[in-house]
Amino acid sequence: MKQDISTASRLSVAPMMDWTDRHCRYLHRLMSHHALLYTEMVTAPALVRGGAVHLLTFNPEEHPVAVQLGGSDPVELKEATKICVDHGYDEVNLNVGCPSDRVQSGAFGAVLMKSPELVADCVTLMQEAAGDVPVTVKCRIGVDDQEPTEVLPAFVETMRAAGITRMQIHARKAWLDGLSPKQNRDIPPLDYPLAHAMKEVFPDLHLSINGGIQSLEMVEEELTYMDGVMVGRAAYHQPYDILGAADARIFGDTRVALTRHEVVLAMEDYIGRHIAEGGKVAQITKHMLGLFAGQPGARRWKRVLSEGAHKDGAGFELVKEALPA
């Protein structure tokens, strides 16, 4: 049964390129029944012009699951949204936050912060195609020399006028000129108070904060200001720390959560099916490396998986070999 998507977005795992694929999301779902999971960004041109619908494959167990689209052509994004909705996604999100060169060259991602009216045109057509499925926007607080205290309120207001009711605000300005995407993860500093202020200015909108959230305690703290919290790298590198107790603490679910070991054992059938279909165990185990982060034996667990996953014939036996660590 699908739960209310706005409730699920009290805690979400951010879309992250090369990380939040379907194997990663299946693993994360074992730890939390409720958190909203996002795909890696999928570009609208890849779906509409390239026919790359295989990028939209997901496991039914992943619900609630949202797809993030990249693009800047309203008509193409409308077509891509229709494809995503037909595939069964619970939400379609537009990327107005990614600073990578590849994204800039396609005139989408964070560079769209400079073109709010174009974004409004995009989401208007996307909502037409989405029907009852919500369309959301993930944005920055500004880019380059923009003044965030001026740009962000105006951008959010433009999105609200276009019918958007839920947004995710990455509370760091994106520098598109002179900083690499890696540098932009830490520079310039985060501005949580500005994101918090948007909730005060727009109390009718469902607003999530993203950027620099390191722990479940931080999630709980930010929920005193915002409607939702989106966690990125911490949810990937220390997934159990973020998701293991999230159902109880964030969603009030009294079911007993799986232990780290139980999560590993619950992956056996999934890994077996993937290998039977011609897949490689490394495609899944790379997402499991951080499962025991901070625990005794974590280094050996990572080493056994990293060194053995690419060997011919590697399967769940490798995972069982690493588990006693």
Indicate which residue of 24, 98, 122, 139 is catalytic.
Answer: 98
Confirm whether 122 is a catalytic residue: no
CA separation for the pair 185, 190 (Å, rounded): 9
- Residues 64/39, Cβ–Cβ less than 8 Å: no
CA separation for the pair 285, 260 (Å, rounded): 14
Ordered alpha helix ranges (H), the chain = 5-8, 22-31, 44-48, 74-87, 101-105, 116-130, 148-161, 192-201, 216-222, 233-237, 239-243, 246-251, 260-266, 268-276, 282-285, 298-308, 316-322
- Cα separation of the two ends of the chain: 37
- Residues 191/205, Cβ–Cβ less than 8 Å: no
Q: What is the CA radius of gyration of the chain?
A: 19
CA separation for the pair 285, 306 (Å, rounded): 8
φ, ψ for residue 147, nearest 5 deg: -95, 110
Show the CA angle centred on residue 37, arms to residues 32 and 43, nearest 5°: 165
CA separation for the pair 325, 310 (Å, rounded): 20
Q: Which residues are catalytically annotated?
A: 98
